[in-house]
Amino acid sequence: MKRKRTYSPQTLEAATLMGRRIRAGRIERRWTMEELAERLGVSAPTVQKIERGDPSVGLGVAFEAATLTGVPLFHADPSRLSIERARADDRLAVLPRLARKPAQVDDDF
């Protein structure tokens, strides 16, 4: 049995916004839901979920739907995505590889 997940209002709002933009892009291209589903390799009900902003849809499928329908991911200019990824890599390079809780120090003398 699947466990029901809880999402923050911000997550739900972002998923809804992305879904609406994907729907608009699909309609602008005059594609049916079935045509977009075929291009994505998913079912039409999955496209419906994406367009409704259902956060249970896989991130890769939602991003691919956005790309196919012309919805920009992070930046309108695709070359910016590579720049931002490199910045994230640089930031991760200076952070510890693992997140650890600080050790409890008994400094009560």
Which residue in 82, 79, 63, 57 sits closest to 21, CA to CA?
A: 63
List, in order, residues 6 or more apart from 35 with CB less than 8 Å away.
Answer: none
Domain assignment of residue 87, yes or no:
yes
With tokens 């008994």, the residue in question is: 106
CA–CA gap between residue 71 and residue 63 (Å, rounded): 9
| Number of domains composing the chain | 1
Among residues 22, 19, 18, the alpha carbon closest in space to that of 31 is found at: 22
Domain assignment present for 106:
no
CATH number (domain holding residue 87): 1.10.260.40
Output the tens digit of pLDDT for each of the chain's 109 residues: 667 889 999 999 999 999 999 999 999 999 999 999 999 999 999 999 999 999 999 999 999 999 999 998 888 787 888 888 899 999 989 888 888 777 787 777 7
Q: Could you give the CA distance from residue 33 to residue 52 in angstroms, rounded to a whole number? A: 12
Would residue 1 count as lying in a domain? no
Q: Is 107 domain-assigned?
A: no
> Which residue reads 């919805």 in tokens?
71
Determine, yes or no, domain membership for 108: no
User: How far, in Å, CA of 109 to CA of 106, rounded?
Assistant: 8
| Predicted TM-score (pTM) of this structure | 0.79
